[in-house]
Structure 1
Amino acid sequence: MSVLPLDAAAAASADATAAGSGRRSRLRRPGAIFGATWLVFVLVASLTAPLWRPYAVDEQDLADRLALPSAAHWLGTDPLGRDILSRIFTAGALPLLSSALMLVVAFGIGLPLALVAAERGRLTERVISRLTEVLMALPLIILLLAVIGVIGNRLYIVMAILGVLISAAVYRVLLGVAQSVRQRLYVDAARVNGLGSLRVNLLHVLPSMATVVAVQAAQLFGIGLLINAGLAFLGFGPAEPEPSWGFMIQDASKHLFDHPWLMVPTGTVLALTVVAANELADALAAPARPEPTRRRRRARAGRIASPNGPTAGAALAPTASAGAASVGAATEAASGRAGAGADPGVVLEVRNLSVGVDDGPTLVSGVSFALRPGTVLGLVGESGCGKTMTARSLLGLLPDGVAVTGGSIRWQGRELTDFRAVRGREIALISQEPMVALDPMFSVAYQLTQPIRRFRSVGRAEARRIARSLLGQVGIVDADRVLKSYPHQLSGGMAQRVCIALALTGEPKLLIADEPTTALDVTVQAEILSLLRALVRDTGLSVVLVSHDLGVVADLCDDVAVMYAGAVVESGTAASVLDAPAHPYTMALLGANPHVPEGEPVPLRLASIPGTVPPPGQWPTGCRFASRCRFAAAACGEPFPARSAHETGSVLCVRFDELTRTHATWDAEEVGAQTALDVETTPTAGAAR
């Protein structure tokens, strides 16, 4: 059974950018104006019909039966001489209200089920989906007729039961939308900021689903009107002399040849009402008009200053671009920071962490690292190596169907089991896409003050003062203007600063920064890096930084963990790992780094790493990098333990000692030849240039 028009995909794409102004622009379209006006007119006229109708619904004038429209009877009379206008609008209340009741029941059941299934994961979704499939398999019309046979022509009860049956189709349409919305970064940010499940759904998920819900409700309303009229046409409506649209159409069908006008008034009102509901749905589903009016453009130009103007970066410490600095110079700076009074204690310790898919492959295995207070740990590697899964596991924000399957996460000396107790308050998140990490439905002021009031237990005025202070702390000069702005009114760099301020609302001790500079240009990247350095220096924050950019890692990180295929293959201080890499994969990443130190010639061919990262479930038994490694040997195919390296770190390579003795490097020309070198018989082969 499927009575829902499944156009949710188009509506879902519109919903991604739906805001109040967008909906208003849709409702100003001619179709929307007609639909809303007609539905309001019919509803008001039907509910107030006893107050204004010229004749009673059972008042007969047999001398004037089947009359055409006249001054006495504007729409004519029926076969018994009753006024058609009075009967049409008196009959309108029942189908309109009963169809609305059907919507309330259908969405009252289907929408909460979709939200619960999207939140609770795969097992809950399977159970609910199987139950809804049973409802969808039931024959709708036959079941309704059976119900009418038991309870009689009680259309309100019948339409409520119809709502229960249709709720299964509503659930199937809204489930995909809810799952998509819950994957957005601003929903994760709300969870990190301490919002419970109910408030996340009410404040962030439902507003983003509003367009889809409105479209489906409008179309289902038209379907409910047709079903209501169809039941009355078959004789299952109100008993005479109570009027109903279906019975009036049935009565008119008997006089199609001798008096065709009788079909026109009732058929036209029913058709226009259904068309109006569909026009309203089409207007809601259509994309918002992209071009603002000239007056709005002028007002907006005067109201919004350039977010990345010269004053925005003035509050930040001057810094060179990370991309322009050589790796060697950056690692010297990192070494200096690491050795300057570092706290020997450990604030975060991860031991043998494993993350896997339910009934599926392992995504991360055996990951271990430690983080000291006031230091920055960089997780480095290609896409698909497990960096983000590792970082998100520290917050309990893994995707549905993915969970920690083994290992230990210790936070400040205690095993971390209740992530909600520390999210936002002690551990916060900075995402890589600031424009989707902020909820487009709310202003910056609302998104900052709400977690401040929740975490710090302060009033509205004090929360706004703290929000203004946090914006100043992250280098935003015009804090009052930014607080009044919505996310779409900010540039990428300004939005990322707001996201950092949002992460600081709970005064956390650890920031998880998931590629915080990836979506930004080089100049803004340097400003964000300078801001993070200042926060670490001034507040004593610890940071876990996920990044692909070795320049960013060298510039910002104190320690580095290089990940490949879900495992840490090398770890240690940033200076030791980047200046003297011990694992061939780290050598390959550095060799493929396009930055050339000043004064050195640009090579004719840049190094690259052949092949791709093996997907989870296809990892080899021994070294996972062996198939791409130019130093691979037969011993690499067998399991082996990690070795100590870089004094405080480790390396996962069976040929570590050999490569260290020969000072092997990843050379561009030799990589192009794609040869596996025997380091024992050719001790200088890896160092040749």
Structure 2
Amino acid sequence: MLHGAGGRGEPPGGSRDRSPRSAGGDPVTAWRAVVGRPVGALCLGWLVVVVTACLGADLLAPYDPQEQDLTAVYSGPTGAHWLGTDQLGRDVLSRVLHGGQVSLLVVGQALAAYLVLGCAAGVLAGYRRGWLDRVVLRVSDLALSMPAVVILLVVLAIFPHDESAAMVTLGVLSAAGLARVVRASTLAVREEPFVAAARVAGLSTPKVLVRHVLPAVVGPVISLVALVAGSALLVEASLGFLGLGVQPPEPSWGGLITEASQAIYRQPWLLVPGGGVVASTAIACAVVGDVLRDATDDRTSREPLSWRRMRTPVVRRAGGPADDTAVLSVRGLSVRLEDGTTVVDDVAFDVHAGTALGLVGESGCGKSMTVSAVLRLLPPGAVVEAAEVRFAGRDLVALDERGMAGVRGGGIGYIAQDPVASLDPLFTVGSQLAEAVRHHHRGATRDEVRRRTVDLVEAVHLPDPKGVLAKYPHQLSGGMAQRVAIARALAGEPSVLIADEPTTALDVTVQAGILDLLRELRERTGMALVLVTHDWGVVADTCDKAVVMYAGQVVERADVRRVFDAPRHPYTEALLAADPNAAAPGARLPVLAGAVPAPGHWPDGCRFAPRCAFATAECARPVAETVGHGGSHRCVHPRRDTTTGAAR
């Protein structure tokens, strides 16, 4: 009866992308989220009022619940009896308040059994594992398969009219679902470094569980308790209505509903106080539980997403014209977040067919945000401002979301930073590639889709294509997953392929294979490549042109050979000097002191000035981009060419 509240399996999502603290949630933050939502605050306020009034029934009730007034039978609401009277002239308000003491008490007993047994079994099973884990899972399966109504009827047959026994039994049966949820959260927490550190420090197992594990799983627990409380209240009212619970003349909420049903033709009003308080309290518990669940879940703790918020708005701004000879030309591209912070500022670049462009810079310079802005794949609330974003002659700034959906994949392919995370773990490689093929080749038959998926796997040089197509993402190595991601990006035969850090976290030999593959695909298909990286070796090996970014700006752009031979901007020069691939054996590697300033904290003048060894007072004013010598740079003190003596 309450099994649905706990669920039959572990919560989806796992713990790979969420820390246990965030997965479990902060109870204080969760309750603030309830209060911060009008419906949640209203329902929580109702629960507080009902519980407080019932607990203080001896002080608040205007009459004794058994006091009869035969002159005011079925009176309806009056000044003397605010909620009317029943068939014996007893005050309904007093009976509701005193009946709440009985009903809420047995509901509390059910919740106590639910909490104690469910949390204890879940934490111990998830932390200790082994035979205890297996026993808990099997017992949970058995409890979840039992018909709760039948079990309650058996208990009441053994203990007639004993609501406490029935509700404790209900809590025990329902605890199986909570145990599974707590076990899943505990499995994530037990692998965290802070738990290992506590064990190394000598803390006993009970202390580790109480101080480090339970606080991390309390979030989903409190949301489930609120949901189960409403269900338990309905069960208690049902038992009273059937005459299996507290017997008259003792008041209970279920008994009040029974009395009202017997007088429905004479005084229908009596259904409102008894039925209304049960229904409204159960609904309030369900709403509070839903809000708590959302507040303790990373995916929904922020403002709920809508299709409108997921669409990135684009604002046209003044700027230079696009390069009509380039397959992708960007001018004046800026990105502003919902809070007004600018993270990309006036970026421009061109990519020609069959060439490769490298976006280079430290982490936090805005490289990934720039390519995401081109595809309008930005966080909700972000705004793109651009003078021109032109792809294959099409003005992307003027396109709506439907038009951009036609460009993504089919015109501009994208490879994410984490290839494994970009693949759905529930589907095989073949099904995900087939999905992309069907989307870009509408009307293709099943055999055509199958042949195309095999061709894609063969194109990225994966051995045993049919075997790879049958695998799930977790069965792939990092290099295999990256090649699958490239194959999916190629499903729409794009003219431009954007690869965001495609060799990150791969070993050297796998990196070389991925770069060779990208180079081969570019030469064979003639597509353009935009490569986001911080590795100068990747730029030298793969790219024709380089765009160096710092603090959201382009500080230098030129041919790759020119950048390596004669960098103009001090930042470019410092990055090249700190490249381990170019270091002399035994020599100390130069280190660029400081860090990239965060968006919103950029200097007013040259953004690299606080870290630049050549900065002067002149650098405190805004620096415009200077074009010349086969490229451009944004510096008032450009580095000088050692061969000609001229400013680079």
TM-score of the superposed pair, with normalisation by structure 1: 0.54
The separation in 2 between residues aligned to 1:485 and 1:504, in whole angstroms, is: 19
Does 2:640 align with 1:654?
Answer: no
Q: Give RMSD over aligned pairs.
A: 4.7
The question of whether the paired residues in 2 share the 8 Å contact of 1:26 and 1:32 is answered with no
Aligned 1:189-228 pairs, distance under 5 A: none
The question of whether the paired residues in 1 share the 8 Å contact of 2:294 and 2:300 is answered with no
The separation in 2 between residues aligned to 1:26 and 1:423, in whole angstroms, is: 50
Match of 1:387 in 2: 367
Per the TM alignment, residue 566 of structure 1 is displaced from its structure 2 partner at its CA by 0.4
Per the TM alignment, residue 477 of structure 1 is displaced from its structure 2 partner at its CA by 1.7
Q: 1:5 and 1:42, CA in 2 relative to 1: closer, same or farther beyond 3 A?
A: closer
The question of whether the paired residues in 1 share the 8 Å contact of 2:332 and 2:385 is answered with no
Match of 1:465 in 2: 451
Instruction: Name the aligned partner's letter for residue 609 of structure 1.
Output: L
Does 2:294 align with 1:174?
Answer: yes
Q: 1:402 and 1:34, CA in 2 relative to 1: closer, same or farther beyond 3 A?
A: same
Instruction: Name the aligned partner's letter for residue 351 of structure 1.
Output: R
Three-state SS of the structure 1 residue aligned to 2:523 is helix
Per the TM alignment, residue 75 of structure 1 is displaced from its structure 2 partner at its CA by 5.3
Q: 1:596 and 1:410, CA in 2 relative to 1: closer, same or farther beyond 3 A?
A: closer
Match of 1:453 in 2: 438
The question of whether the paired residues in 2 share the 8 Å contact of 1:449 and 1:460 is answered with no
Does 2:140 align with 1:35?
Answer: yes
Does 2:592 align with 1:612?
Answer: no
Per the TM alignment, residue 577 of structure 1 is displaced from its structure 2 partner at its CA by 1.6
Match of 1:432 in 2: 417
Question: Which residue, out of 352, 359, 370, partners 2:350?
Answer: 370
Question: Which residue, out of 593, 613, 616, partners 1:630?
Answer: 613
The question of whether the paired residues in 2 share the 8 Å contact of 1:12 and 1:177 is answered with no
Gaps of 5+ in 2: 19-125, 178-225, 238-252, 258-268, 311-322
Three-state SS of the structure 1 residue aligned to 2:437 is helix
Per the TM alignment, residue 650 of structure 1 is displaced from its structure 2 partner at its CA by 1.0
Instruction: Name the aligned partner's letter for residue 167 of structure 1.
Output: V
The question of whether the paired residues in 1 share the 8 Å contact of 2:625 and 2:634 is answered with yes
Match of 1:572 in 2: 558
The separation in 2 between residues aligned to 1:663 and 1:609, in whole angstroms, is: 25
Output one character per residue of 1:578-621: Cα deviation in whole Å (capped at 9) or x when no partner. 22111111101111111248xxx535321111111111111112
Three-state SS of the structure 2 residue aligned to 1:346 is coil
The question of whether the paired residues in 2 share the 8 Å contact of 1:353 and 1:368 is answered with yes
Q: 1:447 and 1:355, CA in 2 relative to 1: closer, same or farther beyond 3 A?
A: same
The separation in 2 between residues aligned to 1:425 and 1:151, in whole angstroms, is: 62
Match of 2:585 in 1: 602
The separation in 2 between residues aligned to 1:426 and 1:154, in whole angstroms, is: 64
The separation in 2 between residues aligned to 1:410 and 1:26, in whole angstroms, is: 62
Instruction: Name the aligned partner's letter for residue 384 of structure 2.
Output: V
Aligned 1:439-518 pairs, distance under 5 A: 439-457=424-442, 458-518=444-504
Give me the identity figure in percent: 42
The separation in 1 between residues aligned to 2:132 and 2:465, in whole angstroms, is: 33
The separation in 2 between residues aligned to 1:157 and 1:476, in whole angstroms, is: 65
Q: 1:12 and 1:456, CA in 2 relative to 1: closer, same or farther beyond 3 A?
A: closer
Three-state SS of the structure 2 residue aligned to 1:29 is helix
The question of whether the paired residues in 2 share the 8 Å contact of 1:17 and 1:440 is answered with no
The separation in 2 between residues aligned to 1:449 and 1:154, in whole angstroms, is: 58
Instruction: Name the aligned partner's letter for residue 635 of structure 1.
Output: E
Q: 1:542 and 1:162, CA in 2 relative to 1: closer, same or farther beyond 3 A?
A: farther
The separation in 1 between residues aligned to 2:326 and 2:302, in whole angstroms, is: 33
Q: 1:464 and 1:182, CA in 2 relative to 1: closer, same or farther beyond 3 A?
A: farther
Question: Which residue, out of 354, 363, 371, partners 2:334?
Answer: 354
Per the TM alignment, residue 441 of structure 1 is displaced from its structure 2 partner at its CA by 1.3
The separation in 2 between residues aligned to 1:631 and 1:645, in whole angstroms, is: 21
Per the TM alignment, residue 462 of structure 1 is displaced from its structure 2 partner at its CA by 2.1
Per the TM alignment, residue 181 of structure 1 is displaced from its structure 2 partner at its CA by 11
The separation in 1 between residues aligned to 2:483 and 2:472, in whole angstroms, is: 14
Instruction: Name the aligned partner's letter for residue 327 of structure 2.
Output: V
The separation in 1 between residues aligned to 2:490 and 2:270, in whole angstroms, is: 62
The question of whether the paired residues in 2 share the 8 Å contact of 1:354 and 1:407 is answered with no
Greater RCO (CA < 8 Å, at least 6 residues apart): 1
The question of whether the paired residues in 1 share the 8 Å contact of 2:546 and 2:558 is answered with yes
The question of whether the paired residues in 1 share the 8 Å contact of 2:566 and 2:641 is answered with no
The question of whether the paired residues in 2 share the 8 Å contact of 1:27 and 1:33 is answered with no
Match of 1:14 in 2: 14
The separation in 1 between residues aligned to 2:301 and 2:446, in whole angstroms, is: 29
Per the TM alignment, residue 153 of structure 1 is displaced from its structure 2 partner at its CA by 8.6
Match of 1:267 in 2: none
Output one character per residue of 1:319-371: Cα deviation in whole Å (capped at 9) or x when no partner. xxxxxxxxxxxxxxxxxxxxxxxx98211111111112212321110111111
The question of whether the paired residues in 1 share the 8 Å contact of 2:359 and 2:531 is answered with yes
Match of 2:73 in 1: none
The question of whether the paired residues in 1 share the 8 Å contact of 2:547 and 2:556 is answered with yes
The separation in 1 between residues aligned to 2:151 and 2:474, in whole angstroms, is: 43
Match of 2:325 in 1: 345
The separation in 2 between residues aligned to 1:28 and 1:485, in whole angstroms, is: 29
Q: 1:39 and 1:535, CA in 2 relative to 1: closer, same or farther beyond 3 A?
A: same
Instruction: Name the aligned partner's letter for residue 366 of structure 1.
Output: D
Three-state SS of the structure 2 residue aligned to 1:660 is coil
Q: 1:390 and 1:442, CA in 2 relative to 1: closer, same or farther beyond 3 A?
A: same
Per the TM alignment, residue 169 of structure 1 is displaced from its structure 2 partner at its CA by 3.5
The separation in 2 between residues aligned to 1:157 and 1:427, in whole angstroms, is: 59
The separation in 2 between residues aligned to 1:172 and 1:442, in whole angstroms, is: 31
Instruction: Name the aligned partner's letter for residue 14 of structure 2.
Output: A
Instruction: Name the aligned partner's letter for residue 610 of structure 1.
Output: A
Output one character per residue of 1:367-389: Cα deviation in whole Å (capped at 9) or x when no partner. 11111112111100011111011
Gaps of 5+ in 1: 54-68, 100-135, 188-195, 201-342, 665-682
The separation in 2 between residues aligned to 1:428 and 1:374, in whole angstroms, is: 14
The question of whether the paired residues in 1 share the 8 Å contact of 2:556 and 2:568 is answered with yes
